[in-house]
Structure 1
């Protein structure tokens, strides 16, 4: 039995063939071209940010559009796109999103010591691109979540190599344009890495204040966007929100009860993340599971919360498939992803406005799965005394448990 497991793991860790690389290239290229042909402006979500930059260039407030939910730094970051023709943007943006997802997958692999040229690396990325619907959604929308999907694995790679300050700066740089990764700063609090925490907090603060000072409406994020996020009463946005706070009212539950439930669930998630960190164990699983739990806890309560947010955490979990005791080896992980299989017909849920129900199922089951693993860290069998650098060499040794 163990011999077969060793053979399978060894096969996955070998360099990928040219045919596998060709298949991956075709899938990614087709995804990008399809998105470019369907969207003349690079994707609906990216267009919102570009319009905000155009408004600023015209002397108007970018926060006049209530669907612009980003920090002031995003306005300046989108200026280069605002001066490019749409014929360029329609293909440049999906290419950039796909490249960000590939980069994030590569960093996630390196966290676990897996070579990006291995068969596991190529097949795993193929599985994400072809078997995980949010991948295609994100490329088509051009949402800036792609930056977070690339930055979190990079930051955790720095953490696992002992470079906490660099990790804090990476998180801070991304939060400066979109605050999606803000919950990860609690990881620095748990670890008492105050310099890293300072970088993660001060960098976006400085960038936001500096960018706001050159806006016609410097306080627009606080006077317009923040109240909109807290109310969550936009009829269009509500149809696609996946958090329980948005889904339960659509099932007849009062908004107050739904909000309390989501807050309690998020609080339990943060507690599980804290328990996972305090539980110790091998460096890599400890860091990854704590960070992922923090993000999922935030997704449970945040408004809005979309399906493509899952791309921030799912690749990190999937990349640990060769590590004994990893979350991805739990049957509930795969059950959580079933609603996201492209082309699978779900009774009564096929219209696009009902997609959020299955996204909520995935989010809740995935959060439950990670929480279970956080509360039993002993399931990860790598030696807790190993330094971060030793984890890479430990992955092949653990093949027998695959």
Structure 2
């Protein structure tokens, strides 16, 4: 035995557990038959909306607003148009297309955007697009009721489904300004990702925050200047939103201020409970950020908590909003310590799988109760995971005797870490 190795045992290698074996298998390339079957199932689920008399209902609202602008009217004269001014101009390329073309085009285009968001979510954790996990993600998304709702409606939430994982991927690679630009562009179309601005605050990325705030502000001001009567947004559209829209949309709203009164809770108390719950979830988002850990996982779980806090409080919070956070959270299953590795993470999602009944809550008007359980359940699981992680970190920090630090002593190729008292000089 050489002198350099005498008295030193080889480092202990951790034996892979069953979870590590499963994750390794999920990361591997899937077979071509499996990939083909997943893509086919996903495509069929995207176009199942053709069985309905109408598709792209929500997209049609934005296109109608663009037609109104071309005719010299104000898009905000329509109370159903709830987007920022930039969305009107983004919809202009659709105005020359006949309704029949949009009927067939909107569902697959919406499905393609969601698929892109799923692939970007996988890339956050360095999972390849032809992996077994990608196959599982496509199949799971195809069976996910929020996805079926999104492609049927053609809702512009699809832009946020792409933007959030794209921004988190850029942030994970250290390109925070690029992440801010992506979030800003998405907010300019639909202000759904506004809660993610707090992620830049937690990370103290002020330049990125400037992009995320300044870009939609500039685009909205420019678009408002180019349209008649933009002030209707503040006098008509904003109050309509703050009051939870109207009796047509309210049954589909899963935010606490809408759901709790349907259970007999007074409106004022429901609002107080919602604000308290939202503030609690926000505090856990801050706790999750401070707990640290693997950067990709921290970004995804913290951003998800910020969005879920908004879904609890803000009105409206519809079923298809789940696609903004679920793909990235599901992809995090490959990371050790992820909340997605808990069976409790998947429990609120099971009732949202097509074909799984929930007696008494299967109608469209009662579906909001299932959605509230999903958002609240995900928020609770992520909050508890953040608390456990923070507790483990505090335990590791407190393991060292207070008042001592670590220094590294070197002698040739040999190094040793030892604790020293404050102010002491290492030998």
TM-score, scaled relative to structure 2: 0.85
Written as runs of structure 1 = structure 2, the 5 A alignment for 1:31-42 is 31-38=45-52, 40=54, 42=55
- Residue 25 (structure 1) aligned with residue 39 (structure 2): yes
Q: CA deviation at 1:203?
A: 0.4
Instruction: Report if the CA contact (8 A) 1:112-1:320 is conserved.
Output: yes
Query: Which residue of structure 2 lines up, in the alignment, with residue 303 of structure 1?
Result: 315
- Residue 70 (structure 1) aligned with residue 83 (structure 2): yes
Instruction: Report if the CA contact (8 A) 2:76-2:230 is conserved.
Output: no
Instruction: Report if the CA contact (8 A) 1:326-1:380 is conserved.
Output: no
Instruction: Report if the CA contact (8 A) 1:61-1:216 is conserved.
Output: yes
Residues 174-230 of structure 1 deviation map (CA, whole Å, 9 limit, x = unaligned):
100100001001011111111100000000001111111111111122111111111
Query: Which residue of structure 1 lines up, in the alignment, with residue 132 of structure 2?
Result: 119
Q: CA deviation at 1:101?
A: 0.9
SS in 2 for 1:235: coil
Query: Which of the residues 235, 245, 263 maps onto 1:223?
Result: 235
Question: Which of structures 1 and 2 has the larger relative contact order (alpha carbons within 8 angstroms, sep 6+)?
Answer: 1
What is the rounded CA distance, in whole Å, between the counterparts of 2:312 and 2:19 in structure 1?
A: 36
Q: CA deviation at 1:233?
A: 5.0
Q: CA deviation at 1:3?
A: 5.9
What is the rounded CA distance, in whole Å, between the counterparts of 1:352 and 1:6 in structure 2?
A: 40
- 4+ residue stretches of structure 1 with deviation over 6 A? none
Instruction: Report if the CA contact (8 A) 1:129-1:136 is conserved.
Output: yes
What is the rounded CA distance, in whole Å, between the counterparts of 2:319 and 2:337 in structure 1?
A: 26
Residues 2-59 of structure 1 deviation map (CA, whole Å, 9 limit, x = unaligned):
565444333222211111121122112212332245255x411111111111111111
How well do the aligned residues superpose, as a CA RMSD in angstroms? 1.8
Query: Which residue of structure 2 lines up, in the alignment, with residue 313 of structure 1?
Result: 325
Query: Which residue of structure 1 lines up, in the alignment, with residue 188 of structure 2?
Result: 176
Instruction: Report if the CA contact (8 A) 2:39-2:138 is conserved.
Output: no
Q: CA deviation at 1:301?
A: 0.7
Structure 1, unmatched stretches of 5+, are: 385-402
More helix by share: 1
**Cα distance change, pair 285–380 in 1 and its aligned pair in 2 (3 A):** farther
The alignment covers a number of residue pairs equal to 380
Instruction: Report if the CA contact (8 A) 1:37-1:90 is conserved.
Output: no
Residues 47-87 of structure 1 deviation map (CA, whole Å, 9 limit, x = unaligned):
11111111111111111221211001111111111221122
Written as runs of structure 1 = structure 2, the 5 A alignment for 1:287-366 is 287-366=299-378
Q: CA deviation at 1:380?
A: 9.4
Written as runs of structure 1 = structure 2, the 5 A alignment for 1:123-142 is 123-130=136-143, 132-142=144-154
Task: Indicate the larger mover: 166-175 or 224-233.
Answer: 224-233
What is the rounded CA distance, in whole Å, between the counterparts of 2:362 and 2:392 in structure 1?
A: 39
Instruction: Report if the CA contact (8 A) 1:171-1:181 is conserved.
Output: yes
Query: Which residue of structure 2 lines up, in the alignment, with residue 201 of structure 1?
Result: 213
Query: Which residue of structure 1 lines up, in the alignment, with residue 258 of structure 2?
Result: 246
Task: Indicate the larger mover: 20-29 or 297-306.
Answer: 20-29
Instruction: Report if the CA contact (8 A) 1:281-1:378 is conserved.
Output: no
What is the rounded CA distance, in whole Å, between the counterparts of 1:2 and 1:163 in structure 2?
A: 33
- Residue 11 (structure 1) aligned with residue 31 (structure 2): no
Query: Which residue of structure 2 lines up, in the alignment, with residue 110 of structure 1?
Result: 123
What is the rounded CA distance, in whole Å, between the counterparts of 1:161 and 1:124 in structure 2?
A: 23
SS in 2 for 1:348: coil
What is the rounded CA distance, in whole Å, between the counterparts of 2:152 and 2:245 in structure 1?
A: 25
